[in-house]
C-alpha cells in the first residue's frame, strides 16, 4: 500500500497500517511534514499540556511509523492511473504499484505570487495567523483576503497587533455576514477595499517593513508601513494528478463517499485534501486513522 503525503494525516495512516503489518510506503511530497512543519508552537494537540513545536510533532509521528516498519521516500506524484488495480503512480518518473492507496496530500496555502513574498516567508510574511500572530505584539499587521478566513484571522490578530489593516481586492466580501459584521465592528481593524498589493518590502533587510498598495478604482498607488503580512486568500488542494479519476468538488477537494472512501474502491482520502472545514492537526490525524482502518479491512476482504 502507498500513502501520499507526510503531514498529520499521512503519518497517522502510516502508524496504523505499519502496526497492522501492511508495509506502507509513504511518499513525502513537496511539503515534507505538511503544514505543521511550517508552524511554531502547537498548543491544542491533545496530550501536550505544555504545547509542542509543530515540526517536532510531525517528526515524532514519522519516527513512530518507522518504528513499526513504514518506509518513507522523497518524491511527488506526477501522474496516476487509478483505472484498475493494482493502481499505478508515477513518482518522479518511476512507476510504483499498489493495491490500496491513501491520498493525504493536503491543501497548500494560496500565495499572491509576488517575487518578494516568497523571499520573506517566515520573515514577516505568513499564511497562518494562529501560528505566527504572537510575533507581532503591538506591531502593525496587514491581512489580505475577503473570505471567512481573512475575517477570522484579522479578528484574531487584533489580540496582538496595534492595528490590523484588512486589504481586499473588491468592494464586496465573500465572507459570511456574521463574520464580516464582527470585523467591521472591531475598532482595531481598518478596511481597505478595491485594493491590491503590488510589492512587499524589504528583502535587503530580510524582514517585512512595508508594502506598495494600489487602489483599483482610483489608480492611486502608495506605500504603507507594515511589520506582519498575513495571506488569507484560500487554499488549493493537492489533487492535480487525480483530476478526471477521483470525484473532486469544483475547488478540487476530494468528495468523500462515506468514511474515508473515494469513488474508487481501494483509494481512500485523509486530511485537508478532503476537509475544507476543520483543517486541524488532530482532525487530520483522526482522518488518517480512519483511512488506515478502511485499508486494512479492504485488503483483508480482497484476500491480500
By annotation, the residues acting in catalysis are 128, 131-132
- The verdict on 234 binding ligand NAP (CB under 6 A) reads yes
147 binds ligand NAP (CB under 6 A): yes
* 3-state secondary structure at position 293: helix
Strand-pair partners of 79 = 90
Which span sits near ligand NAP by CB under 6 A: 65-73, 129-137, 145-153, 206-214?
Answer: 145-153
Residues 275 to 304 in contact with ligand NAP, rule: CB under 6 A: 276
Residue the block writes with cell 467591521 = 184
Q: For ligand NAP, give the closer residue by CB, 73 or 112.
A: 112
DSSP 99: S
| Beta carbon nearer to ligand NAP, 75 or 147 | 147
Rounded CA gap, 165 and 277, in Å? Answer: 25
Q: Which range of residues in 87-95, 169-177, 237-245, 262-270 is near ligand NAP by CB under 6 A?
A: 169-177
> Is the Cβ of residue 64 or residue 256 nearer to ligand NAP in the bound state?
256
Rule CB under 6 A: say whether 73 interacts with ligand NAP: no
One residue of 41, 148, 199, 202 binding ligand NAP per CB under 6 A: 148
Residues in binding contact with ligand NAP, number by CB under 6 A: 17
Q: For residues 241 and 236, give the distance between their C-alpha atoms in angstroms, rounded to a whole number.
A: 13
Do residues 88 and 99 touch, judged by C-beta distance below 8 A?
no
Q: Out of 105, 127, 149, 165, point to the residue binding ligand NAP (CB under 6 A).
A: 149
Q: Tell me the chain's radius of gyration from C-alpha atoms.
A: 21
Report the SS3 class of residue 103: strand
Name the residue nearer to ligand NAP (CB basis): 173 or 242: 173
Minimum distance from residue 71 beta carbon to ligand NAP (Å): 34
- Closest alpha carbon to 176 in 142, 152, 141, 143: 152
If binding is defined by CB under 6 A, does position 145 make contact with ligand NAP?
Answer: yes
Please pick, from the candidates 76, 169, 188, 261, the single residue that binds ligand NAP as defined by CB under 6 A: 169
Asked if residue 266 binds ligand NAP (CB under 6 A), the reply is no
Query: Which cell goes with 94?
Result: 518511476
Determine if 233 is a binding residue for ligand NAP (CB under 6 A): yes
Query: Strands 77-81 and 71-73, how do they pair?
Result: unpaired
Under the criterion CB under 6 A, does residue 157 sit at the interface with ligand NAP?
A: no
* 174 counts as binding ligand NAP under rule CB under 6 A: yes
CA within 13 Å, CB half, 19 = 14
Q: Got the DSSP string for 218-280?
A: T--EEEEE-SEEEE-S-EEES-GGGTTTS-B-TTSPBPPSSTTB-SSTTEEE-GGGT-SS---
Contacts to ligand NAP by CB under 6 A? 110, 112, 144-150, 152, 169-170, 174, 232-234, 276
Amino acid at each position: 500500500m502507498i500513502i501520499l503525503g507526510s503531514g498529520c494525516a499521512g503519518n497517522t495512516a502510516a502508524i496504523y497500517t505499519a502496526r497492522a503489518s501492511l508495509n506502507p510506503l509513504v511518499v513525502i511530497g513537496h511539503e515534507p511534514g505538511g503544514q505543521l512543519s511550517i508552524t511554531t508552537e502547537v498548543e491544542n494537540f491533545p496530550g501536550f499540556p505544555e504545547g509542542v513545536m509543530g515540526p517536532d510533532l510531525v517528526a515524532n509521528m514519522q519516527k513512530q511509523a518507522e518504528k513499526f516498519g513504514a518506509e518513507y521516500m522523497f518524491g511527488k506524484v506526477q501522474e496516476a492511473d487509478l483505472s484498475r488495480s493494482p493502481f499505478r503512480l508515477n513518482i518522479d518518473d518511476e512507476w510504483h504499484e499498489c493495491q490500496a492507496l491513501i491520498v493525504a496530500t493536503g491543501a497548500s496555502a494560496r500565495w499572491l505570487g509576488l517575487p518578494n513574498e516568497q523571499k520573506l516567508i517566515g520573515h514577516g510574511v505568513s499564511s497562518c495567523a494562529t501560528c505566527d500572530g504572537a510575533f507581532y505584539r503591538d506591531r502593525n499587521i496587514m491581512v489580505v483576503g475577503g473570505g471567512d478566513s481573512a475575517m477570522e484571522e484579522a479578528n484574531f490578530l487584533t489580540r496582538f497587533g496595534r492595528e490590523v489593516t484588512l486589504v481586499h481586492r473588491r468592494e464586496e466580501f465573500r465572507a459570511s455576514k456574521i463574520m464580516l459584521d464582527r470585523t467591521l465592528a472591531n475598532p482595531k481593524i481598518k478596511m481597505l477595499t478595491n485594493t491590491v498589493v503590488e510589492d512587499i518590502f524589504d528583502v535587503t533587510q530580510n524582514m517585512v517593513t512595508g508594502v506598495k498598495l494600489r487602489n483599483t478604482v482610483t489608480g492611486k498607488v502608495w506605500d504603507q508601513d507594515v511589520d506582519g503580512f498575513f495571506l488569507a486568500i484560500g487554499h488549493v488542494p493537492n489533487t492535480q494528478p487525480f483530476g478526471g479519476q477521483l470525484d473532486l468538488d469544483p475547488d478540487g477537494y476530494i468528495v468523500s463517499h462515506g468514511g474515508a472512501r473515494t469513488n474508487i474502491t481501494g483509494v481512500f482520502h485523509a486530511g485537508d485534501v478532503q476537509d475544507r472545514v476543520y483543517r486541524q492537526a488532530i482532525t487530520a490525524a483522526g482522518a488518517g486513522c480512519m483511512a488506515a482502518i478502511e485499508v486494512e479491512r479492504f485488503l483483508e476482504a480482497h484476500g491480500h
